[in-house]
Structure 1
Amino acid sequence: MIINAQGASEPQTYVDRVLEHWHQDEDAEALVQGARRLTRGEARRRLFGLGHALRRQGLAPGDGVGLFLANRVDSVLVQLAVHLIGCRVVFLPPEPGPGELAALVEQSKARAVVTDPLFARRAADAAGRSVHAPVLLSLGPCEEPCADLLALAAECPETRPDAVPAPGADEAVTVLYTGGTLGRPKLAAHSHRLYDALVDLADNASEDSGPAVFPTMDPDTDRVLVATLLTHGSGHLTSVQALVTGSVLVVLPEFEAGAALAALREERITATMFVPPMLYALLDHPECGPGAFPALRRIVVGGAASSPSRLQQAVEVFGPVLSQGYGQSEALGIAAFGAADLASEGARRPELWRSCGRAISDVDIEIRGEDSTAALPVRQVGEVCVRGETVMLGYYEDPERTAQALRDGWLRTGDMGYLDAEGYLYLVDRAKDIIVTGSTSDNVYSRVLEDFLLTLPGVRNAAALGVPDEEYGEAVQIFLATAEGTDVDPDEVAAAVTAELGELYTPRRTVLLDRLPTTKVGKVDKKALRAAWASGAMDRPSVSA
């Protein structure tokens, strides 16, 4: 508990937990970004200055603050400062176009937008379109007409701002962008219960307890690398879990395989999180080999479907340090698979390499049919539905879509999968990515096909899409990123798919690429692939079914 100036107790927040660590051993490192290194004392004082500077912009508890930030130490501190003064964090990731970004700022009712100087022009355009006229602030000087928040913070007291009332149980404290259509973004709103759950997981961490970065935390030795965007769920989750346990947080400004490997080695990283394409890029880098990272104790893989063959390759290179986590912006923690369990159980039951683990603590998972509230039997494919403390309150300012996604406390994730008899969850596709094809209009699950394609020689990454087809409605199309110096024959690929998965999965067309496009967070960008194909921007070699 925290005691305020009047002697009354206040509930402890996750920021209070971070500050408990930052008040101890003040000369120990807290935040690192390349050559920039902040001690705990420096980080705490800088955080307090940012809190005062935000307050001086007229922000009050409950106000929304848009964060349009790159990966840097100050971005971590600003996010903490917004919560410290009782305001609502609204993450503004770099993917949306101008109209979508402006709609996001407007719908989130942001009273202020804090931007990285790199994004200042886009931020100014979005803020200028909002009827709420948010204050525009920059993390450093920039050419746009906005105040330099860092300069303002340098003039503020280095003492903690006055305490604010604790947020209500159903009050949104963090809003995450999940996509949407122009003018109507989907904004997943979370309450303080999410952070309470993360603190509980850190306090009671074990190999299978949940999405904690690793099972035991030692603030004197653990160093966590955040390589995904801080404004996305994966980066936010990684950074919060590191900070609440007192670990050193090392921020990678932008992912590049060589830079990430250098950071793992030079910063003696003990834990990190990668989305699958990032992990694959590391494995394909010439400097990545067994024994190169002796300090590394945990790599969490999540954010998108992972190839079992690539996971096994990662264990061969990094050792038994690999764990999987499954979540989404609407539910940041759903299922997890601890490193020890993956190593031991995976040897006993090879199919578990395709699993994303079992439900984390205090989360329930059911598989349901379309428009059904009844759970399906074991191993029957349906929509993954979850409930628990990590599930969102709803979509911010969007009751219609909230009602579609949340029913009687259960979130319909949009992911298709099944549970086995021991409660392990297997994902087979996103509902919208299922390819319906063949004379009987059967389902082709792109995840199943992509996993198999990644076992083939010379294939570094793969994506499967459904494209319009006059005969079957949709036809299976695959895009393969091939290894340099290899010759992948589309006919041989098609034959291998047919032999392993059957004719329904046989690709009608195959496109060979040097690499697949990825989103800013590192996932394969299927929207970009669809758009490029539809526009005729790619060659169209055809493989007969």
Structure 2
Amino acid sequence: MIINEQGTSEPRTYLDRVLEHWHQDEDTEALVQGAQRLTRGEARRQLFRLGHALRRQGLGPGDGVGLFLANRVDSVLVQLAVHLIGCRVVFLPPEPGPGELAALVEQSRARAVVTDPLFARRAADAARRSVHAPALLSLGPCEQPCADLLALAADCPATRPDGVPAPAADEAVTVLYTGGTLGRPKLAAHSHRLYDTLVDLAVDRTQETGPEVFPALDPGTDRVLAATLLTHGSGHLTSIQALVTGSALVVLPEFEAGAALAVLREERITATMFVPPMLYALLDHPECEPGALPELRRIVVGGAATSPSRLQQTVEVFGPVLSQGYGQSEALGIAAFGAEELAAEAARRPELWRSCGRAIADVEIEIRGEGGTAALPARQVGEVCVRGETVMLGYYEDPERTAEALHDGWLRTGDMGYLDADGYLYLVDRAKDIIVTGSTSDNVYSRVLEDFLLTLPGVRNAAALGVPDEEYGEAVQVFLATAEPAAIDTDEVAAAVTAELGDLYTPRRTILLDKLPMTKVGKVDKKALRAAWASGALDRPSVSA
């Protein structure tokens, strides 16, 4: 708790934690992006100016503010500023098309949209389509009719805005886009309880908090790299965990393996998070070799399924620095595997390389059968259901889909998996990605198949899809990314799959590509693959198995 000017106590928020650090050792570096380097004092004053500038646009407690931002230092500060004045953060990631983006702005009830100049044209189009006609602000000058928020902030006081009430326990303070159908997006809404839990996991070492994703960070020396999108859960979590511990946060504008290696080395990064394709690209870079990053103490990998063979390769190259995290927009923290635990336990039990760890503090995990009501015994595959402080309040302004996803506080994640006797969670597929095939309509788990394909020589990435089949309903088809297509014999791929996983997993066809399409958050874009296949764009008989 903290005591306000009236002498009464108020809850201590994650922002209070950040500002406690930024009021100390003011010349210590706080935020970095290339040549832009802000000390703690400079970051604090700019945060306060941005808060006042947003207020002067008529924004107040409870108002939604859409953030359509690229990875940059100013994006970190404006997100904090929205919370500082009691407004609701609405993250607008860059991947939705024009109609979906407009629907997202409309459904979120955003009173204003803050855009990066790079996205200003799309933001202006979305704002024009919205019935609520939100105000449009930009982080710098742009060609669209936007007010320049940075210029407005320059004329504002560098003192903390006052009169901001504490958020209610059930008030949505952050909303994340998590897909949906065309024109009807799903927006996962979270309360301040999420941030309280994140602070406990990152800061409080006086009590048992479950698996440790980041170690206790030293604000005097630790430097954290935000490499994933700040407007997605992974980038948001990385930045918050760095800020509440007083660590320096370095922002990577765009990911490219060579550039990332250079930043990791030059900025003496000690902790970071990557989604699997980023990690794979880093490992495949010619300059990535043992000893290349001596300062690095922790790599967290999450956001999508990760190949066990690639995880082991990471430890071989960087040492025992690898942690895993599992979550989704609807539950930003579910399970984790700390680096020390992974290094110690996987050496004794190699199957743990396929696990994403155990439930974090205050989170319960159950595997449930069809209908989502009955818990299944250990090692039986079912839907992963979770309950805890990191679970969303619901889908914003969408009671129907909230009721489908949440039952008595339990979230149906849509992921299929199982728990072992020690509580380690293993994911086998997304429910929607299971391929139902064979004479008895058995389940082929694409995650299992993809993990095996990534162990084959020359395979850089893999995706398994079910394609229509007259005899079995669906047939297994795989897509492999490799830099040397001629080095892979698709018949040998099919034979290797059959030998390892059985006839049911044998791919009907194997398509070789230079690279697989990726979403903005670094996952294989299976929708794009399906669309390309359906259009005939990938139908190349020369590469069929």
Q: TM range, normalised to the smaller chain?
A: over 0.9
Q: Cα gap change, 1:486/1:299 in structure 2, threshold over 3 Å: closer, same or farther?
A: farther
1:155 matched to 2:155: yes
Q: Cα gap change, 1:212/1:156 in structure 2, threshold over 3 Å: closer, same or farther?
A: farther
Q: Which residue is 1:351 aligned to? A: 351
Q: Alignment partner of 1:310: what SS?
A: helix
Q: Distance in 1 between matches of 2:370 and 2:226?
A: 37
Q: Distance in 1 between matches of 2:40 and 2:392?
A: 31
- Asked whether the 8 Å contact 1:211–1:333 carries over to 2, the reply is no
The Cα of 1:85 is off from its aligned counterpart by 0.3
- Asked whether the 8 Å contact 1:208–1:337 carries over to 2, the reply is no
- Asked whether the 8 Å contact 1:93–1:232 carries over to 2, the reply is yes
1:455 matched to 2:455: yes
The Cα of 1:448 is off from its aligned counterpart by 0.2
The Cα of 1:483 is off from its aligned counterpart by 3.4
Tell me the TM-score normalized by structure 1: 0.98
Q: Distance in 1 between matches of 2:180 and 2:134?
A: 22
Q: Cα gap change, 1:90/1:490 in structure 2, threshold over 3 Å: closer, same or farther?
A: same
The Cα of 1:452 is off from its aligned counterpart by 0.3
Q: Cα gap change, 1:466/1:387 in structure 2, threshold over 3 Å: closer, same or farther?
A: same
Q: Cα gap change, 1:485/1:491 in structure 2, threshold over 3 Å: closer, same or farther?
A: closer
Q: Alignment partner of 1:523: what SS?
A: coil
What is the total number of aligned residue pairs between the two structures? 545
The Cα of 1:61 is off from its aligned counterpart by 0.1
- Asked whether the 8 Å contact 1:300–1:323 carries over to 2, the reply is yes
- Asked whether the 8 Å contact 1:311–1:353 carries over to 2, the reply is yes
1:507 matched to 2:507: yes
- Asked whether the 8 Å contact 1:51–1:81 carries over to 2, the reply is yes
Tell me the TM-score normalized by structure 2: 0.98
Q: Which residue is 2:413 aligned to? A: 413
Q: Which residue is 2:488 aligned to? A: 488
User: Mapping of 1:81-160 within 5 angstroms?
Assistant: 81-160=81-160
- Asked whether the 8 Å contact 2:334–2:390 carries over to 1, the reply is yes
Q: Distance in 1 between matches of 2:213 and 2:56?
A: 36
Q: Distance in 1 between matches of 2:527 and 2:300?
A: 26
- Asked whether the 8 Å contact 1:32–1:251 carries over to 2, the reply is yes
Q: Distance in 1 between matches of 2:104 and 2:80?
A: 21
Q: Which residue is 1:334 aligned to? A: 334
Q: Distance in 2 between matches of 1:290 and 1:530?
A: 38
Look up the equivalent residue of 1:226 and give its one-letter code. Answer: A
The Cα of 1:182 is off from its aligned counterpart by 1.5
Q: Distance in 2 between matches of 1:206 and 1:506?
A: 51
Tell me which moved more, 225-234 or 210-219. Answer: 210-219
Q: Which residue is 1:204 aligned to? A: 204
- For 1:199-244, what per-residue CA distance to the aligned partner results, in whole angstroms no more than 9, with x for missing partners? 1112235999457651211000100000000000000000000000
Q: Distance in 2 between matches of 1:335 and 1:248?
A: 26
The Cα of 1:539 is off from its aligned counterpart by 3.3
Q: Distance in 1 between matches of 2:242 and 2:207?
A: 16
Q: Alignment partner of 2:487: what SS?
A: coil
The Cα of 1:12 is off from its aligned counterpart by 1.2
The Cα of 1:8 is off from its aligned counterpart by 2.3
Q: Distance in 1 between matches of 2:183 and 2:323?
A: 38
Q: Distance in 2 between matches of 1:2 and 1:161?
A: 16
Q: Which residue is 1:361 aligned to? A: 361
Q: Cα gap change, 1:205/1:502 in structure 2, threshold over 3 Å: closer, same or farther?
A: farther
- For 1:330-364, what per-residue CA distance to the aligned partner results, in whole angstroms no more than 9, with x for missing partners? 00000000111111111111100000000001000
Q: Distance in 2 between matches of 1:109 and 1:174?
A: 13
Q: Which residue is 1:240 aligned to? A: 240
Q: Distance in 2 between matches of 1:5 and 1:122?
A: 43
Look up the equivalent residue of 2:33 and give its one-letter code. Answer: Q
- For 1:389-430, what per-residue CA distance to the aligned partner results, in whole angstroms no more than 9, with x for missing partners? 000000000000000000010000000000000000000000
The Cα of 1:132 is off from its aligned counterpart by 1.1
The Cα of 1:527 is off from its aligned counterpart by 1.0
- For 1:481-525, what per-residue CA distance to the aligned partner results, in whole angstroms no more than 9, with x for missing partners? 113476000000000000000000000011101111111111111
- For 1:167-202, what per-residue CA distance to the aligned partner results, in whole angstroms no more than 9, with x for missing partners? 111100000000011111000000000000011112
Q: Which residue is 2:222 aligned to? A: 222
Q: Which residue is 2:35 aligned to? A: 35
Tell me which moved more, 366-375 or 69-78. Answer: 366-375
Root mean square deviation of aligned Cα: 1.4
Q: Distance in 2 between matches of 1:296 and 1:55?
A: 40
Q: Cα gap change, 1:169/1:207 in structure 2, threshold over 3 Å: closer, same or farther?
A: closer
- Asked whether the 8 Å contact 2:434–2:444 carries over to 1, the reply is yes
Q: Which residue is 2:427 aligned to? A: 427
Mark the runs of 5 or more structure 2 residues left unpaired by the alignment. Answer: none
User: Mapping of 1:16-55 within 5 angstroms?
Assistant: 16-55=16-55
- Asked whether the 8 Å contact 2:510–2:544 carries over to 1, the reply is no
User: Mapping of 1:159-174 within 5 angstroms?
Assistant: 159-174=159-174
Q: Cα gap change, 1:34/1:263 in structure 2, threshold over 3 Å: closer, same or farther?
A: same
Tell me which moved more, 517-526 or 114-123. Answer: 517-526
Q: Cα gap change, 1:205/1:515 in structure 2, threshold over 3 Å: closer, same or farther?
A: farther
Q: Distance in 1 between matches of 2:190 and 2:123?
A: 24
Q: Cα gap change, 1:377/1:47 in structure 2, threshold over 3 Å: closer, same or farther?
A: same
Look up the equivalent residue of 2:426 and give its one-letter code. Answer: Y
Q: Cα gap change, 1:486/1:26 in structure 2, threshold over 3 Å: closer, same or farther?
A: farther
- For 1:109-154, what per-residue CA distance to the aligned partner results, in whole angstroms no more than 9, with x for missing partners? 0000000000000000111111111110000000000100000000
- Asked whether the 8 Å contact 1:14–1:195 carries over to 2, the reply is yes
Q: Cα gap change, 1:228/1:101 in structure 2, threshold over 3 Å: closer, same or farther?
A: same
- Asked whether the 8 Å contact 1:435–1:444 carries over to 2, the reply is yes
Q: Distance in 2 between matches of 1:544 and 1:243?
A: 50
